[in-house]
Structure 1
Amino acid sequence: MKKLGKLATNEAVSAWGARLDTLVENKLTLSHDAAELHLYETFQQAQLIQLRFNAPVMTSMLSGRKVMHLREMEPFNYQPGESLLLPSDRLMQIDFPDATTHDPTRCLALTISDEFIRETIAELNEEVPRVELVDEWQLNTDNYLLQNDPEISSLTDKLIRLFRENNPFKTFFIKNTLRELIVRLSQTQVRTGLLHQTSQHTTTNRLAYIVSYIRDNITRNLSIDELSDKACLSQSHFFRLFKSELGISPAQFILTERIRRAKTILSDPAKSVTDACYESGFNSVTHFSNAFRSIEHICPRDFKRQLAGLN
């Protein structure tokens, strides 16, 4: 790796106050009993930099762009807002096509002991079993790429702060934050399977069946009583399990599905905002507009105008 010269030292600045020994994958490592946090910064373009860890690892992009080369996957852009789970001893080869001293690439790599992951998942299955007894919570670390939701982003930010601070409760706080992160990641993987591979699970998982039923009947007025009856569960049990595995309440899910359908309708130049309203299950244009804005942070009319401008 190229060592820093005098000019580079003056230009390259670490975001974490770490000593700069190299322009490529300069690393600050912080340790805990169950995990290590590695903070990386790269200040110049580079290709096929090799990296591997001796424990399961979650990497997250903080700034800039990488191109990742992993076994059994086509090379892909890796950008902020994304995380990648890998098993121990998995080789990564990394390109840094855009990194400069003024616009470095920054990421974290969080290694967590196999034993700590197993203990956390075992306790999760014991305390909060999944809706189907044949299914279990697990954490898939085999080249698993995910979009960070707000909870996962918040937890990774919190871990960076906890690892770096001087606090007598530091070890305790890190351990509990790691446990929550493992649970959130497991929830994300289950939710992704139920929402994006629904047809594969409709005959074996009641929640997958309910997701499919909601989508097929999205324009109808769907009640918790009807949905819990279809799932053969009490209302309270259905509500708790739905939120546990999908991360949102049934009512919130129905709303997001209606907005998703409305966006598809609005993309049709022949359809109006009123068409999108009633064809996605709303019975009031005002209610539709308010709901659309609450989720998409833009009113449906402006959303349609933006699509027209892009086209």
Structure 2
Amino acid sequence: MTQGQFLPTKGAADSKWLVTQQWGPLGLLDCRQTCAVEDDEEPWVYTTEHTLGLFLSPRPLWISHRQASRSYTGFYNRGDLLITPVNTTLVTQSEGVVEMVQIRLQDAFLRQVAAETLGQNEDRVELMQAFQTRDPQIEAIARMLQAELRQAAAGSRLYVDSLANVLAVHLLRQHATARSPLPTYPGGLPPRQLRQVLDYLDAHLATEITLATLAELVDISPFHFSRLFKQSLGVSPYQYLLQQRIERAKRLLKQTDQPITTIALACGFNSHSHLGRKFRQLTGMTPKTFRLS
């Protein structure tokens, strides 16, 4: 296995890959490999991260797990989830072709979200172990992160930050030993704060923007900021940012003769092709076609 760009061999029964990405407090591993049962399996333990393993193999896969004092042996199906809390030793044996996405979420980030978003005592945050469980929301988030990884698109940090916050809150509400209701903040952002955020976004379209940076502008948690922003404008911060970048690209395409690659970089995209994908997604045409229309 090699680590790097995602380049599986289509149609090959023995194709395999392993690619990783780290976005702030959230890491992702996307892999496909052939496993054989071995007598002595190395134990795994993450001392700073919780791990969520989503199994995506098309055929059921025989797996034997041991987490601390608990164990499980059986067949994992596509969509089954393994949750391993921080500082929990995991020993795994399997036989066959395993295809999976593993999310790693920093424990410090989860505790911060617990305190800022749910008002929990961060020292009492503890996730529960889980073998072969199902969680449609975690599966959806994992697949969105996998798609983002495979596209290798820069300029999407705000999108990933939003997913990380949603994932953390979901874990705290559904998979923690102590659960708290989610506070509600009706009405959206106050007009002054909303204007402040929109002005910041407009001034920084060409740069990487994080959810934490936007939340700090109005002094609230990133998760609540996302919810209030969407209540105010009807779209998420990432969707709004993408719309504004495309609008700027439209103006530059019509009003200047700059190369499309130059326009892409000026609007926060990392390449001509990255702009092209997002431009077609929102307008139904390519930048070149739009310029000539």
Report the TM-score when normalising by structure 1.
0.45
Q: Comparing both chains, which one has the higher relative contact order based on Cα–Cα distances under 8 Å and sequence gaps of 6 or more?
A: 2
Report the TM-score when normalising by structure 2.
0.47
